[in-house]
Structures are given as structure tokens and as C-alpha cells.
Amino acid sequence: MSGFNVVQMADADWRFDYTGECGPTGVAVRHVLTDLSGPGGDGELVDHKLACELRPGTSYGVRVNATGGDGDRYRSMLEFTSDAERAASGVTVLDRTRLSRGDVDGLFRRYVVDAVLDEIDIPIIGSLVALIVAEMAEQTWAELGRRESTYGVVSEAVSYASRGPSGATATLSGLVAMPDIGNAPDYEPPGRIVVLTHGTGATPSGLSPSDGWYVLANLLAGRGYLVVAPDNWGRGVSAAPERPETYLMANRTANNALDMIRAVLDDGRYEAFHDALETVPAALVGYSQGAHSAVALWLASAAGMEDTQKVALREVYAGGGPHNLYATFRGALEEIGDRCDGNPWCRSVDGDAIEPYAASRILPAILRYSKVELDLDDVLDDGRLDRAFLDGMLNGEERFDALKTMLQLNTFTNLVSLASALPAESTQIHLYHSPFDRLVPQQNSRDLADALLPGFDATAHFDACDSNAFEEIGNLVDKAGVVHAICAFEVFDRVLLDLRSGEEARTGRIQGALARLDPALPWRELAERRAVAATTDAAGLEAFRAATAPDDLRKLSTRLRVQQSPALRELADRLSRDTGQ
């Protein structure tokens, strides 16, 4: 089976069927288009998600047949030739790590201490943020740091046969993590495998302890799960200067991920970690860019692409995702161009933070892999968004319609009658998003929840990342991505809890022993490390004191002093000097 997409403009009353030599099947997913100036602005963009059975070295024509409300008929044709030889099944192992149970438990602590909050360049603020998160972890987190791993973990960097953005055969990479069951003869696989779709900048196949997705994969595998985490095209073994990552390109990331899932499930080396059933249940977890990829993967799977009877997505956990890519992109332009009218897409956005994402990630991928008749010189000026491009997009110049259309193809909140297009499914969809997120507006997840309800089993957990602690972090830090990043920990804690609760309900057994360590411990250690740096940064400390009201300095000093830490008490003393405390 091979899955692919045919995308076309259409009128709203068109109905479709599919014919061709390979017996194509599929569904039409419709997107409402907005803000276009030229012809077609009042129509729909239809993404035909198709699949058919191919024979090696054979030419095919796949026809999309449309019938209009007036009886007129239309046809689109996709012609292609399949590869002369079938791709090898399974995966190739490129590298491997093995961690003991203790190493797995220590991995998260080391990740927090060594890799979190690096973007906060003022140590005192980093120390205070870490302390706030420590309090949150101690009070509300049920899983991260509280439960010991049941197993050691074997993580493998693997490659597998897939396709590049053009559809041509390509080799991609990813991570497979599994429990080390060599000394566990009574191991029984959980009722799920877990698929992780990575966030910005992550490469799971790198097997790096500083990569959050590698860390999360190990935490899950330590609980007994087989974890599959694909790299996007343009990362891992497919990385090359001329290959930008398929950033937020829904169909590309979904097709590649489905190829990897199939390759892993076809590989006999992993049979011990999932029930040998025709259909393998899976939970899908993504955050930020990965949340967008997760929804794309769910849509492709629900549409029946890529021999998806091999896997059934039972849960989708999507946090902080840019599900309305067009509105998010346009809101960034409005903020950068000082044209924000107070709408939720720009009023809380940090233009300086989001511009690099638009300039160096979103646009290069769309311009490289789509026919929008633009190149980077048309949209960028010395690495920043060109003013003529910014004004042209906001003023409705027709030459930018194709780019707007591609952004809306990769938007999920503009879908029409999705429940009638997709077959009935039992997937539970969980959405998370902080109202204090200044990188990806919460309106993304609110609009997606509205698009999915009624019709799907979707729950919006907007209480996540909505505490006083997140508001305090947002007020304390001028870096837009910090709340967005810290919210990921809250979301992952909830995902781990939900997975454990589901497994306990399925088996009637308690999953994993409570750990002795305080879940706040790594965050306190991080706070102490940054406090030591802060006390040696006289200029930064003086600048912070000068910019902070005396009453606030006294409150912060009290908060630091009650921790009974010499490093934090020293910082408290330095802050409270000359404040009358």
C-alpha cells in the first residue's frame, strides 16, 4: 500500500470519487479558504487523502472525479511510476544506547539541570523561574520524578524506507526505544505502543540526553512501552543544507511517520513489545510543532492511508500546537509590522521571538517544496522578513495567494464537515495550551476544539498551564518561549498519568512504584546552579534590582530564603540589600 495526496481547488458543492489502475481509495478533506484576492478565493481547498496497492515498476494513473451541483463533471489526473523494487521491510539500526533503571531515572534530572532554561541569559531570572517550577512540581505533578522506572531502556537510532517531499524514494531516520526485558521473563507488553512527534529543533535519532524527545522516549520505555519517534525530513540521516525540514507541512510529516510506524511493526525484532494483532493500538504524543504533526498523523490515519490497519490511534495528546497555521503566521506579521488590532492572534505575541520561526523554518520549507512562485529573496531581507513581503501579505496582494493557500492547507481549524468525511473512530483527542503562551497563541487549540466538537471525542484541557505559577513566569521573563517550554512539562506529566491510569484500568495492576525522590529536586538544583551564577554577575544583578520595585524584591528574597539552600540564601541577601529587609 502507498499513501499520497492530491490537492486541488474546488467549489463547495463538488462531490468526488476515485478511479485508476491501482484501485485507489480515499477521502476528501475540505479546507475553507480566506483572505485570497484572486480567482478561487470563494472556493475550497480539497486535500484528497488516497491510498492504493502498487506493484513494482508499474505506471499508474489515479483519477479524482468530481461532480458539481449543476451536474457538470471534472477530472484531475495524477500519473506516476512505482519503484522497480519493493523497499526492504523493517528498519536498519544505526546506533544504540542502553540505560539501567537508575540511569533512566537520572536522565530526566540531568536534562532539567543541564538543558532547560538555557535561553534565559540572566541567571537570577533563571533561578527564580526554576524555583517557581519546583514549587509547581512539588504541589501538582503526579508522574515526572515521582515514579521509578520499571525497566532499563534500549534506544536505537534507525533508518527506514520512506519518501521525500517530491514523492521519490528516500531514507529517513528516527528513534525506537524499548524496555530492556533481558532479565524480566514476566514482561507483558502494555496495551499501547507510543508514537512521539517531535518539537522544534529536536532530532530523536541523535540519542542525545539534551534532546527532550529522547528523554521522554526513555521515560516511556522505562514504563514498558515500545516508543516510535520519527525524525522529520531534513533532520537525522536526511539532513542536508539544501533540504529544509518539512516544518509544519502536515501531509509530508504524516506520510513519513506512517511509513516508520509500519516499518517498526513489520520488523520481527520488536514483536515482544506489542501484541501480535492485526491492528496495534497506539497513543500519539506531540507538543508545539509536534502537536501539529500529531493532528496531521491522526487525520492521515483516520483517512485510512498507508495500510493503517496495522495501527489504531486510540489517544492523541497535542499540546501548544499551531493548528491554525495561517492565522498564527498572519498574526506574527501584524505584530512585527505594528498593525495588530488587538485580535488574539497578535495581541500577546512576541514578534521578535516568532519572526525567526517564520523566516528560518516555516517559509524555507513551503517555498522549497511547494509551487508558490516565490523564493527566499522575495520574502527575506538579510534574514528578516522583507517589509514589502509583510505589507503585501497584509494588504492582500494577489501574488501571495498561493503562499496563503499553502499555509491554509496546513491549517486544521478550517476543515469543513470533517466528521462526515472521516470514518467513525474511537480516538480520544486531548488538547492542551497555556493562555500565557506568547509564542503560539492559545486560540489555536481553542479553534481546533471548536472544529472537532461535536463529532469527535475531543477534550480541551485548558486548565493545564493556567495556574498563578505560569502567570508569574510570564510576568517575570521577557523571553516568549519560556512559558511555552515549561508548559510542555505540565502536559507530559498529565500524559504519563493518563497512560498509567488507562493501563491500570486495563490490567487491574498498579504500574510502577512511587519514587523516593522529590519531583522538585532537579528544579531546585537548577535554581541553585543559576543562583551561584547570579551572585557572580554583579552587573546583571544590579540591573535586575534597579528594574524591580523594592516590595517585589522583598517578596522574591523571602521566597529564596525559605528554601534552606546556602546558594539561594546568598542570592536572597544580595537582592534584599538596601531594601530595608
- Reported as a single tens digit per residue, the pLDDT across 524-578 is 999 999 999 999 888 888 888 888 888 888 888 888 988 889 999 999 988 876 4
Spatial separation of the C-alpha atoms in residues 32 and 173, rounded to whole Å: 34
Do 208 and 340 reside in the same domain of the chain? no
Q: For residue 279, what pLDDT is reported? A: 87
Cβ neighbours of residue 516 closer than 8 Å, sequence gap 6 or more: none
CA 269 centroid distance within chain: 28
Q: Confirm whether 544 is domain-assigned.
A: no
User: Which residue in 332, 315, 293 sits closest to 427, CA to CA?
Assistant: 315
Are 214 and 156 found together in one domain? yes
Q: Are residues 161 and 309 in the same domain?
A: yes
**Polymer length of the chain:** 581
Which of 524, 519, 489 lies closest to 113, judged by CA? 524
Say if residue 316 is in the same domain as residue 337. no
Which SS3 state, helix, strand or coil, does residue 301 take? helix
Q: What pLDDT sits at residue 393?
A: 96
Q: Is 261 helix (H, G, I), strand (E, B) or coil?
A: helix
Specify if 551 maps to a domain: no
Within a domain: 481: no
Q: Are residues 340 and 311 in the same domain?
A: no
Please check whether residue 153 is in contact with residue 178, taking contact to mean a CB–CB distance below 8 angstroms. Answer: yes
Q: Is residue 235 part of a domain?
A: yes
User: Looking at the structure, do residues 207 and 268 belong to the same domain, yes or no?
Assistant: yes
DSSP string, 63-109: EEEEE-TTS-EEEEEEEEE--SSPPPSS-EEEEEEEE-HHHHHHHHH
49 in any annotated domain: yes
Same domain, 192 and 281: yes
Domain of residue 360 covers 325-409
| The pLDDT of residue 260 | 96
pLDDT at res. 498: 96
Positions in the chain whose pLDDT score sits under 50 = 306, 578-581
Do residue 366 and residue 239 come from a single domain? no
- Where residue 38 sits, what CATH number does that domain have? 2.60.40
Q: Is residue 439 part of a domain?
A: no
Q: pTM for the whole thing?
A: 0.95
Residue type (1 letter), 157: A
Residues 314 and 355 occupy one common structural domain:
no
pLDDT tens readout for residues 477-524: 888 889 999 999 999 999 999 999 999 998 887 765 555 568 898 999
Which pLDDT value is given to residue 86?
A: 83
Are 158 and 243 found together in one domain? yes
Whole-number Cα distances in Å, 138 to 334, 483, 485, 487: 40, 18, 18, 15
Say whether 182 sits in a helix, a strand or coil: coil
The pLDDT assigned to 562 comes to: 85
The domain that contains 275 carries what CATH number?
Answer: 3.40.50.1820
Q: 186 Cβ partners below 8 Å, 6+ apart?
A: none
pLDDT of 544: 87
Q: What ranges make up the beta strands (E) of 344-411?
A: 380-381, 384-385
Residue 56 inside a domain? The answer is yes
User: Which of 267, 281, 301 shows the shortest CA–CA distance to 87?
Assistant: 267
- How many domains does the chain fold into? 3
- Identity (one letter) of the amino acid at 319? G
Chain segment 138-170, per-residue pLDDT in tens: 999 999 988 889 999 999 999 999 999 988 899
SS3 271: helix
Q: Is residue 316 located within the same domain as residue 334?
A: no
- What local confidence, expressed as pLDDT, does residue 579 receive? 45
How remote is the C-alpha of 392 from its chain's centroid? 30
Residue 529: inside a domain, yes or no?
no
- One domain for residues 11 and 29: yes
Query: Which pLDDT belongs to residue 185?
Result: 81
